[in-house]
Structure 1
Amino acid sequence: MAASLRSGNWGDLLPRLLSAMVMIAVGVFTIGKGGLWFQGLAVVVTGLMFWELTRMIDPTKELRAVIFGALAALAQCAAIYGGAGPFLGLFFILAVAAASVASRDKWIVALYGVFVLFAPWGFVYFREEGSVHQLAWVVVVIVVTDILGYFAGRFLGGPKFWPKVSPKKTWSGTLAGWIGAALVGFGYSVYFDVSPVFILFSVLLSFAGQMGDIAESAIKRRAGIKDSSNIIPGHGGLLDRFDAMIAASSVLLILLWAQSSFSA
């Protein structure tokens, strides 16, 4: 049994599970504590993800990637502690600056870079302005989508969802993720006695997360690499792990912005 798990499609299962346990523990702790703990995590994650992005596009420019990663962390710190209004513009400036010196795929660096910068700020905003329960709902939706999609895809297989971009993603895994997200939304709406619309929102966030995964896969395929980095055993890089979170946070920010615009 152990030998079979180490071979074939399941060779990465043990390091993947162990890394996931560590990430879950860190996530639960920092989300629960909030404040400086969660804000600090957002700053560190932002810097590492932006480093990965610029490094993927220009792998020979390691120093440049490190500098942009540090600048991304500083920009996130400024936006969190200095106020969103005057400092969120730094995200656009930094993404354009990184794109301007990229040797190729400048539009990818600019567009995806903005999402990479805004998403962690969005999670801090959800935690501080909303509630820990709402943030946990978003995280659980994405985690359940990923877990069910992973195992359903491995066990059931079947037709590929978008083989040219993401060869491993199947329709069975995609649908399993939607079902899992719907169940999370149902449980949330029942437990907290809120509108059943959370079921629909959960599926929407699940789909957004899956599209985020596909978008990052497309970037890696263009770059000719398997993982955004190798800092997380069994998962690759932070972008490999949080690509779905980036998309979900961005979609939720857009929905909140639209809601506030219509209600104003």
Structure 2
Amino acid sequence: MEPSRKRSTRDSNLKKRLATAAVGIPAVLSLAYVGGVYWTAFIVLVAGVGMHELLTMARPKGYRPSPGLAYLVLLFLLAGFGGSGWFLPGYFEPGLLGLIALSGVLLLLGFPRCSLVDLSLAWMGALYLGIFLSYGVLIERELSHPFFALLMVFGITWASDTGAYLAGRLLGKHKLAPMISPNKTWEGALGGFCLSMLVAAGIGCLSFSPGLGLVLGAAGSICAQVGDLVLSAMKRHFGVKDSGQIIPGHGGVLDRFDSFMWVLPVVYYFFKGG
């Protein structure tokens, strides 16, 4: 592609990203503020669409993970770990046993078309999304100031992403993980790390000491960047650029919430222990 066309495409994508962010950020923050069933429904929606994207990415490579099993395990884990009300206490262990038994039956009845790899992909996707995103429900249900905690999650996530992007564009020279994500650099990672610390200290200054905010921001940024690289490794394995196209200028749901998922448990345990 010619340099002028590359620049035009990049500018067009940037405009789409900014327009989507201008609408999406207030909408998501509003859901976090309202909380309750609306926030829980949002988390379930993110998990469900993310599961769909994982299954879709896998199919061109010849994998056939069972969508029915994947969604069933996903909802079970969101309910079991998130404690979403309709999950009855004491039924987690037998429910888990039942799902594992169902997986065995699917392997038996579908053999040889249904493989262990297909079942493993369904379980891995459900475990990954279900357990990480359940902390979004736990924050809203168990913490005394859930919106403040969720604001911290979003602040750290967005600061890490923005700081890494800007520092990488301006200063990036040393590749961070060239086999997984060639555009990421150590300079970008440091930029995201530093900006997350500053944002976390700024958001938390009215509730706890700046020192604790710096620690939370550092831990959150490390996890955010690991989450980003994990999805990059998945996409590299499946041979795709984006997890989906549902969000204009941003790709798929997983592309936008890969870091957010990893920051959720960090913030949850920080406030839970404090």
- TM (norm. structure 1) is 0.81
* Aligned-partner residue type, residue 130 of structure 2: L
- The 1:36/1:224 distance shift into structure 2, 3 A limit, reads same
Contact 1:115 1:250 in 2 (8 A): no
Q: Which residue of 1 aligns with 2:86?
A: 82
| Residue 127 (structure 2) aligned to one of 114, 118, 121 | 114
C-alpha RMSD over aligned residues: 3.4
Q: Which residue of 2 aligns with 1:125?
A: 138
Contact 1:160 1:167 in 2 (8 A): yes
Partner of 2:164, secondary structure, is helix
How far apart, in 2, do the equivalents of 1:103 and 1:255 lie?
A: 38
Partner of 1:56, secondary structure, is helix
Contact 1:48 1:69 in 2 (8 A): no
Report how many residues are paired: 255
Alpha-carbon displacement from aligned partner over 1:98-118 (angstroms, at most 9, x marks no partner): 997567486565445312112
Q: CA deviation at 1:41?
A: 0.6
* Aligned-partner residue type, residue 226 of structure 1: K
How far apart, in 2, do the equivalents of 1:85 and 1:251 lie?
A: 25
Contact 2:159 2:192 in 1 (8 A): yes
Deviates more, 1:45-54 or 1:190-199: 190-199
Q: Which residue of 2 aligns with 1:7?
A: 8
How far apart, in 1, do the equivalents of 2:88 and 2:17 lie?
A: 35
Q: CA deviation at 1:70?
A: 4.7
- The 1:146/1:46 distance shift into structure 2, 3 A limit, reads same
| Residue 229 (structure 1) aligned to one of 240, 244, 247 | 244
Q: How does 1:246-257 map to 2 (within 5 A)?
A: 246-252=261-267
Does residue 240 of the first structure (1) align with residue 255 of the second (2)?
yes
Task: Mark the runs of 5 or more structure 2 residues left unpaired by the alignment.
Answer: 108-113
Contact 1:228 1:239 in 2 (8 A): yes
How far apart, in 2, do the equivalents of 1:44 and 1:238 lie?
A: 10
Percent identity over the alignment is 27
* Aligned-partner residue type, residue 15 of structure 1: K
Q: CA deviation at 1:134?
A: 1.5
Contact 1:159 1:170 in 2 (8 A): yes
Q: Which residue of 1 aligns with 2:185?
A: 170
Q: CA deviation at 1:146?
A: 0.7
Contact 1:31 1:38 in 2 (8 A): yes
- The 1:91/1:114 distance shift into structure 2, 3 A limit, reads farther
Q: Which residue of 2 aligns with 1:48?
A: 49
Contact 1:91 1:114 in 2 (8 A): no
Deviates more, 1:129-138 or 1:110-119: 110-119
Partner of 1:232, secondary structure, is coil
Q: CA deviation at 1:120?
A: 2.2
Q: How does 1:79-228 map to 2 (within 5 A)?
A: 79-83=83-87, 85-86=89-90, 93=99, 97=103, 104=117, 110-130=123-143, 131=145, 132-194=147-209, 196-228=211-243
How far apart, in 2, do the equivalents of 1:245 and 1:88 lie?
A: 26
* Aligned-partner residue type, residue 81 of structure 1: G
- The 1:8/1:115 distance shift into structure 2, 3 A limit, reads same
- The 1:109/1:176 distance shift into structure 2, 3 A limit, reads farther
How far apart, in 2, do the equivalents of 1:217 and 1:91 lie?
A: 30
Alpha-carbon displacement from aligned partner over 1:177-198 (angstroms, at most 9, x marks no partner): 1111110122134222446223
- TM (norm. structure 2) is 0.78
Partner of 2:240, secondary structure, is coil
Q: CA deviation at 1:256?
A: 7.7
- The 1:29/1:195 distance shift into structure 2, 3 A limit, reads same
How far apart, in 2, do the equivalents of 1:253 and 1:91 lie?
A: 25
Alpha-carbon displacement from aligned partner over 1:76-126 (angstroms, at most 9, x marks no partner): 3674122485576668958x9599756748656544531211222211211
Contact 2:103 2:119 in 1 (8 A): no
Q: Which residue of 2 aligns with 1:27?
A: 28
Contact 2:75 2:130 in 1 (8 A): no
How far apart, in 2, do the equivalents of 1:173 and 1:127 lie?
A: 32
